[in-house]
Structures are given as structure tokens and as C-alpha cells.
Amino acid sequence: MSSEFISEYEVIHAKPKAFYETYARKDELQHQTHYCPGCGHGTIHKMLAQAMDEFGIKDRTILISPVGCSVFAYYYFDVGNVQAAHGRASAVATAVKRSRPESIVISYQGDGDLAAIGSAEILHAANRGEPIAVIFVNNAIYSMTGGQFAPTTLIGQKSTTTPGGRSAIHEGYPLHVSELLATLEAPMYIERVGLGDNRQIAQASRAIRRAVENQVRGLGFSFIEVLSPCPTIWRLSPVESQRWVREVMEKTYPLAVFRDRTKDAQPRPMPQEPPALDTIPQIIGVANGDVPEDSAIRHEPVTDVDLHVRVAGFGGQGVLLLGEVLAEAGLDAGLEVSWLPSYGPEMRSGTSNCHVRLSREPIDSPLVTAPNVLVAMNEPSLKKFDKSVQARGWVIYNGDAFPPECVREDVHVLALPFTQIADALGDARAANMVMLGALLEIADALPQTSVDAALRRLVKNPRFFELDERALARGRELYRESVREVCHAG
Amino acid sequence: MRKQLMKGNEAIVRSAILAGCRAFYGYPITPASEITEAAAEFLPRVGGVFLQAESEVAAINMLYGASSAGVRAMTASSGPGISLMQEGISYMAGAELPCVIADITRGGPGLGNIAAEQSDYHQVVKGGGNGSYHTLVLAPSSAQEMADLTALAFELADRYRNPVVVLADGFVGQMMEPVEFPQRATAPQTPAWAVTGTAESRGNLITSLHMGSDELEAHIQHLESKYRRAEREEARAEDWRTGDAEIVLVGYGIVGRILKAVTAEARAEGIPVGLLRPITLYPFPTRNFQRLVPRARVFLVVEMSNGQLVEDVRLALNGARPVEFFGRMGGNVPSHGEVLALVRRLARQYGVVMEREEERMAHV
Amino acid sequence: MNAEKRDRGLLRVDGNECKGCGLCVEACPPKVIAMSERLNHYGYRTATYVGAGCTGCGICFMVCPEPGAITVLRAMAQRSAAGSGVTMGTEGAMPCASN
């Protein structure tokens, strides 16, 4: 042939530009792939690269490599590359795409990776309609690890872990991933193609192009399953393997478009611009300006304070709120505070309690194991915590009949039917605030303005706010009226 | 700055956002769910991504993706969920991807219960995943530290390109205390190594795979050099009244708070006790321990576990001083009373010299 | 050679990349690809263009699993060799086409 002859030809099919010229990440044979002769991966890679060339998206593309024979896909594709854990490529792709919505994200996975260990991740990525393209290479076997059974292995097909062939009784039936995903609402495009002959290969190329195009158009989840030869593990020649795809595999896995909603689909909305950086403290509620002026820390504590309070009762009695108001008020009054809800085994049987500390000094332990004030909103709570109260401490008990076994000579007691008292004020649920009123009067540590501020912060409903204010006042009154030093047991 | 009363779990998310976190992938679990819920509320409002994943396995692998894409990302879970995340944590350490993981520890093994324990120490500090790697581990003991150490966690994660765990117990997560936040938000930055779908980042590769033996060994040695640097530069602990301490109490998280109260009470009785509270569990504050050896007669490690931190204390002291252990489990908390009783016994057993009355009065 | 009689297509096989799987031989409609008798330096018998009859259909390229192993060329419309179409140099094509 003469040079004039050659120069009258133009290249129409050559290695796509989305591949590296030489595969520098490989440590040897840097001009050829690591795939076995006749392996479908190289063919599929080429289809993908051609689509990338066609849409001019090399810079925008992020390819997620799986675990399996195609773990080294990043050797070949001259795009952004992320290699994922076994089966997790769809989860990784999900987050890459969500954080970089302008990018083209392609998750490339085999059948062990996607259909077995990664079955949850692909199902949920598909169900969320993640706008990614997933290329699922199904060769009915675990190839890289040497030919073990896959969920896609055909009935009767031998593998190193089904030496007698797959039996439906023992391993169940081949998993039809495309059909499975096609039961979901969200996916945009699902097709199964094969590499069984020229016609199939041409269709596979079109399908892969389609999946890429869908993402370029900003549409949703696209999934292309490719029945792909593995001559080495199948122990067939490349040509026989191709035949096996079309004559055997295809019988179990029919080639079809299982979903196509691309025709009328609209591009998914792109995320909005993030807010200005200086507005973020306010958005997340930590800007100084968010704290109302009237509750700024400004009060000097009335007296020296070291409250160790335990509040206990049934769930629904407002135990936690009582504690929270106390802690908020303490903070407002410039004290060190902590509030710890009952947590763990104590939460059983619907009981509830919390630990509150108020002090001038930094709080060492927020756990109140020896309270100097116990607020017991019912009898079981009293019985549970009565013994823990410090000598000369206080017990505020919701009930006028103090159980005899709980009577101690070394503690002060305020025992009143707080629920009935609250009921008389208009709502039995305000019992917690009546008891808090009594506690505040006993502790004599917090200005009423701080209590008001705390209540305003925590009780948004004006009706309850008004009720709670009256309940607090009533509690203070009750203490002043009826306090009796109970060193009375004898 | 003004303080507001807030749960540790809620403080974490706000602090994360201020630190530039713009991706949160999580899966609910008691007692960490408030973190996930707060993330669901706030991340989308600051232009970030929140997604409840199908499992903790998926969640951590989504972090792998978000971090690969150069976004500051975090998740939160508790014991059983952290176990499931170990796969992804190992991959992220291997691929040198930064992220922050909050572990609000509950009872174990297995389903255990939902009460507070500190029994995730081994799986977090020693690394529950495969391979030669570490996570950096920070152990807050207050709501304020939940905020502060979360911000630090993001810094360290980027500085070392490594996962950082904020290891707290259910108490620290659930407790409300006054918290103050910085008033300036950190601008999200994209690191040069990230894969972002741009021409500039096209040549970047994120992988934990290194096929050649020498190549992998060199990679591990590179990781090791980072860990050595962290050991030199990042170890932190709170020393409290350890200067003249003959009995050194050791505990992290909520236990550190309890031991502070015990220290005060023991001092009031004239027993020269101090508290050493590790704030970084990895790198372990070994030098803080060694500094106390000349004066200390005995170290008492208190944990809400079967004794996990105590192993690192013994390694740090390397036999120089006896190390005693007291642990409660199942959600039970070591009480002041029982620890104090133990301190009194140790004082007798180890011949601790009681402070004279006038010295004691000087403290008061 | 007379331009009117030349083949519509031409292909070249890179003997360093071809792994000798034979899928192109099977796929080629005019059957103008054969396996070489010689082994390449990896020990593969590589695909070879028989030298005439290529239609430039591109099917061999499509089925080839090795991204860079096959390049397909097609005759340009009648124009001078110095035309502005994409042409390829002779150095690359000669040894491959005769591989």
C-alpha cells in the first residue's frame, strides 16, 4: 500500500478520548487493559467512553468503580475517579451526585457487587430516583474471586461454591435485578442488554449512550444491565461465551426495556444557591441576636446557690418541663446549670425523671444522685428517691398522705395535693408548675423575672403561659402558707 | 457571646454547620437520633445535603462519596450502628478521606440496651475495621464540649485527611447545658485532592486499593507518619488538681464529671486526689499520665464499661504505677458514693499521706 | 492504485493491544479479519486484516473488548490527498494493517 492510498482514509472508529492514552496507574502493560481476552468489561468500557466523548462530558464525569474485576476501571477512564467498597458504589454515587449536582456520576458495578452485597444500596438508590447512571455487568458468576456462585448464577450452573450446580431449593432462583427495580416508581430508565452478538452489542451501545444522555439531560435514575461474557471462569472460548450469552443466559434474562419515562420527563430542579455565610448563625438559631433581650444574662443571683434537684413522676406530668424551666431560669439568672433527662433503664414503665443542677460554681457532675430537693410527683417516685435525699434537704410531694415508710426525721417535707390544686386553677396538668413555684420559694435563689423569661421561652401557647404563671404564684403562696418542718415522724 | 441551654446532641449539629459541614447522612438510633433530626432540619436550610440512608452501612459509604467530592460531611450513630459503619471507616482511613462521626454510646454487646455506656471505646479507639489505621477520637464531657470538639473534629479531619470520631455517651448527648457558639460560620472549602466533576479535579483518584506489596506498605507508612504527628501535636487532657495528687482518678466523658465531684469531696476529707480526664482518646495523652508518675501512688480508672480505657492507661504508665479499675455497666453510672468509698480504701491500701488540716483549709 | 477500485474501509489492529480473543474475526461481515499465525510478544495470536475487502462498517471495533486494539478507517469522499479531512499518518497504519 502506498502512502497516498492511506491518506485518503479517515479514522471513523478509534480508542475514545475518554480513555487515558496510556494506563499509567497500572504498574505494567500500560497500553492494554487487565481484562481477560473476550471479557465484556472492555467492550462496555468502550461504549461508556464513546458516550462520554459524544456528550463532551469527560471533565464533568465521576466514575465510581466497584469491587470485582472492574475495580480498576480508574486505570482506564480519564475522568474523576472514586473507587468504592464492595457493593456500596450506588451509595457512594448518591452522595457524590448530591454534593456535586452538575457532575455526571456513573456507578459501574458487577453482579456480586450490585446484586448480592450491594442489593440494599442499589434498591434504595433506585427507589430514591438518584439521578445517576448505573451500569450493571451481569456475568452470572463471581469472576475476580475465582468463580463462586452469584445471585445471578443460572439454575444448574456450576460454580466453585455450587459444585453440583445451582439448585432452586438450596440457593433460590436467579435474581432479576432489572425486573425488580422496574417495580419501583422512581427509576427513569431500565434496560437489559447483552453482548451475545453484533446486534445485541449495537443495542447495548445505544442503551449505555441513553443512560448517559439521561443524566446529561438532568433526568433521574438510569439502569443498564449488560449480560456480559466471562470466558475465563465459564471455561469457554470468547466466541463460545458470546454464544452462551445469547443462547443460554438470555433465556433466563430476557433483553428488554423495562422502564422508559424519559419522553416527557422534565429535568430535576437544581439545588438553590446556599444562603450567605453571615446569615448561617441566625438560620441555625445560634446568632446572639436570636436570644431575646429581656432574657439576657444580667441578674446577679439572689443568694448563694447550690441546688441538686431530682424531679420524678409519670410520663405526661410535665416532669422534664419543670426541670427545664428551672434550668432556663437559672441560666437567665447568671448561674451555672445542667439538666439531664432520665435516661436508660429508669425510663421503663412510663416513669420519667430529670436531674437539675444550679450553682454559682461550674457544675462538676450533672448527675444528681443525692438531691437536696426532691420533687416527687407520685408515690412510686417518692418511694424510689426518698432515701437518696440529703439530710436537711427538701421533699416536695404531690399528695397529702405522706407514706409512713418514707417519713424521715432529717428532711423537710412539703406534701400537698398539687394535682387537685392545679385542677382548681383550671388545669390539672399545671401541677408541675405549682410544685415548681413551691421549689422556687424554698430555694429563694431566682428572681421572678428570670422565671418569667424561662417560661416565655419554653411555653409558647399564651393560654398555658398564663396558667403556668398563676400556678407558679400559687405554689409560692402554698409554701409560705403551709410549710411545716417535718421532723415529725416520732 | 450569649449562652443558650441546649442538648449536647443538638449542639453538635449547629457546631458542625458553623464548621462548614454541608452533608449529613444518617440512620436513626437511640440515643443519637436528635443529631440526625437536627441535621434534617438545618442542613437543607444552609445549602447542605441531608439524607436518611437505608442503613448505617449505606450512610458511612455516602460519607465516603460526599467526602470524595470534597464536602465536609458527618454522621451520627451509636454502638450497633457504629459497628456497621466500621467497613466505611476503614475505607475512609485507607482512602484518606476526612469525615466526622458522632458516636453517642449505648449499652452492648448486641442490642444491649439504650442506656448510656462507654463500651464503644475499643471499637472506636482501636478501630473496629480492618487494616492498620486509626481514627482520631475526641471525648466531650459537656454540651459545650460537644460543640467545641465537633468543630475541632472537622479541623483535625481535614488536617489529617482521616475520619474523626466524637465519642460521647448517652448522658452527654441528652444533657442540656448552656452552650455558646462562634458567631462566624466557616466557609466550605474544596480541597485540591477531591473529585468534583471539573477539569481541574479530573486527574484525581480516591481509592484505598494499593495492589503492590511495597506500594501498600509505603501507603501504610504514610498513614503511620500522620498518626505519629497527631500523637505529637494533638493529644489533649484535662488535669484537675493533679499537682500534688497521690491518687489520680481517670475517666472520660460523663465519668470525668462525676470524678470531678468525687475529687472535690475526697479533697475535703484530706485525701490528695486529682483528676486526669483524657479529651483525646486517640491520640492518647500518654505524656499527661507519665508526668504524674513521680507523685502518684495509684491510678484509679472509672468507666461505664468492663474496662477498656484502662488498657490504654496501663500502656501509658507501662507498669510505673499500679492501675486500679472500677466499672459500671448496663446503663448504671458509677455514683460519687461508691467511687469515694473506693478512694478511701485505696488511700489506706497505698499509704496515701493525708493532707494536714491547715493545707486542707487552704483549699477551701 | 486506482482510487475507484480501492476498498471503502480499512482497519488496523495494534498488535501490542490485541489479546487474540477472536471476536472480531467472528463478527466481521465480509470476513476480512483472520488470526495471525505468529504470536505477539505476550504469546497471543493476534487478529490481522487480510488486506482487502474492508467495508469500514466498524463492527469489529464495536465488538473488540480492548479499547485501543482496533482502529477503523473509511475512505474519504473523492478529493485530493492533501484535503482537509481527518487523515492519519502512514507510520502508524502500515505496520498494524499488515500485522
Which chain A residues touch B107 with a CB distance below 8 Å?
344
Q: Are residues A147 and A237 in the same domain?
A: yes
Please name the member of B65, B208, B212 whose beta carbon is closest to the beta carbon of A91: B65
Same-domain pairing of A322 and A225: no
Question: What pLDDT is recorded for position A347?
Answer: 52
Contact exists between C and A (3 or more beta carbon pairs < 8 Å): yes
Name the residue of chain B whose CA is nearest to A75's CA. Answer: B205
Q: Three-state SS across chain B?
A: CCCEEEEHHHHHHHHHHHCCCCEEEECCCCCCHHHHHHHHHHHHHHCCEEEECCCHHHHHHHHHHHHHCCCCEEEEECHHHHHHHHHHHHHHHHHCCCEEEEEEEEECCCCCEEEECCCCHHHHHCCCCCCCCCCEEECCCCHHHHHHHHHHHHHHHHHHCCEEEEEEEHHHHHCEEEECCCCCCCCCCCCCCCCCCCCCCCCCEECCCCCCHHHHHHHHHHHHHHHHHHHHHCCCEEEECCCCCCEEEECCCHHHHHHHHHHHHHHHCCCCEEEEEECEEECCCHHHHHHCCCCCCEEEEEECCCCCHHHHHHHHHCCCCCEEEEECCCCCCCCHHHHHHHHHHHHHHCCCCCCCHHHHHHHC
Q: Give the tens place of pLDDT for each residue, B306-324.
A: 999 999 999 999 999 999 9
Assigned domain for A288 exists: no
Interface of B with A in 211-250 (CB under 8 A): 211-212, 215
In a domain, A278, yes or no: no
* Cβ-based contacts of A12 with chain C (< 8 Å): 56, 58, 72-74
pLDDT at C82: 45
A257-284 pLDDT, tens per residue? 999 999 989 998 988 899 999 999 999 9
Cβ atoms of residues A392 and A487 within 8 Å? no
Strand partners, A222: A133, A189
Cis peptide before B109 (omega within 30 of 0): yes
Q: Is residue A146 part of a domain?
A: yes
Is A230 found in the same domain as A312? no
CB-based contact (8 Å) between A251 and chain C?
no
pLDDT tier for residue C88 given thresholds of 50, 70 and 90? very low
Instruction: Name the residue of chain A whose CA is nearest to B254's CA.
Output: A365
A neighbours by CB contacts (3+ pairs under 8 Å): B, C
What is the C-alpha separation between B58 and A240, in angstroms, rounded? Answer: 39
In this structure, the answer to whether residues A181 and A315 fall within a common structural domain is no
What's the mean pLDDT when you consider all of chain A?
92
Q: Within this chain, do residues A199 and A307 fall inside the same structural domain, yes or no? A: no
Q: Measured between alpha carbons, how far is A25 from A74 in angstroms, rounded to an integer? A: 8
Residue A98: which of B51, B211, B254 has the nearest Cβ?
Answer: B51
Please report whether residue A268 resides in a domain.
no
Any domain includes A277: no
Instruction: Tell me the one-letter amino acid at A308.
Output: H
Q: Can you give the pLDDT at residue B355?
A: 77
| Whether A232 and A352 share a structural domain | no
Asked if A10 lies within 8 A of C68 by C-beta distance, the reply is no
pLDDT tens for each residue of A142-165: 999 999 999 999 999 999 999 999
Domains in chain B, please, with CATH?
4-233 (3.40.50.970), 237-363 (3.40.50.920)
Residue A2 confidence (pLDDT): 44
List all residues 6 or more positions away from A173 whose beta carbon is below 8 Å from its beta carbon.
Answer: A155
Would residue A24 count as lying in a domain? yes
CA-based nearest distance B228→chain A, Å? 27
Q: Which residues of A touch B331 (CB under 8 A)?
A: 343-345
- Band of pLDDT at residue A401, cut at 50, 70 and 90: confident
Domains and CATH numbers, chain C: 3-76+89-97 (3.30.70.20)
| Domain with A242 in it | 3-260
**pLDDT score of A484 more than 80:** no
Q: Considering CB atoms only, which of A74, A104, A364 is closest to B207? A: A74
Query: What is the C-alpha to C-alpha distance for residues B317 and B333, in angstroms, rounded to an integer?
Result: 26
CB of B51 closer than 8 Å to CB of A93: no
Query: Does residue A489 fall inside a structural domain?
Result: no
Higher pLDDT, A314 or B138: B138
User: Is residue A282 in some structural domain?
Assistant: no
Last residue of a domain, one of A245, A260, A275: A260
How near does any CA of chain A get to the CA of B319, in Å?
30
pLDDT the model gives residue A482? 73
A13 has which bridge partners? C72
- What is the share, in percent, of chain B residues with pLDDT greater than 70? 97
Instruction: Mark which of A230, A245, A260 sits at the end of a domain.
Output: A260
The more confidently predicted of residues C87 and B102 is B102
Query: What is residue A458's three-state secondary structure?
Result: helix
Distance of alpha carbon A290 from alpha carbon A284, whole angstroms: 10
ipTM score of complex? 0.96
- Pick from B25, B47, B335: which is nearest to A274 by CB? B47
Does residue A345 surpass a pLDDT of 80? no
Q: Please give the grid coordinates belonging to residue B106.
A: 449505648
Q: Under a CB-based contact definition with an 8 Å cutoff, are residues A471 and A433 in contact?
A: yes
Residues A332 and A248 in one domain: no
Pick C26's closest partner by Cβ from A7, A45, A239: A239
Would you place residue C90 in the very low, low, confident or very high pLDDT band (cuts 50, 70, 90)? very low
Residue A342: name the closest of A301, A313, A299 by CA: A313
Under the banding of pLDDT at 50, 70 and 90, the label for residue C41 is confident
Tell me, what's the pLDDT at A294?
47
CA distance A45 to chain B (A): 18
CATH of the domain at A471: 3.40.920.10
Q: Which three cell numbers mark A303?
A: 443568694
How many structural domains are present in chain A? 2
**Lookup: cell for A68:** 470485582
pLDDT tens digits, residue range A75-112?
999 999 999 999 999 999 999 999 999 999 999 999 99
Tens digit of each residue's pLDDT (9 = 90 or more) over B70-95: 999 999 999 999 999 999 999 999 99
Percent of chain B residues past pLDDT 90, beyond the cut: 95
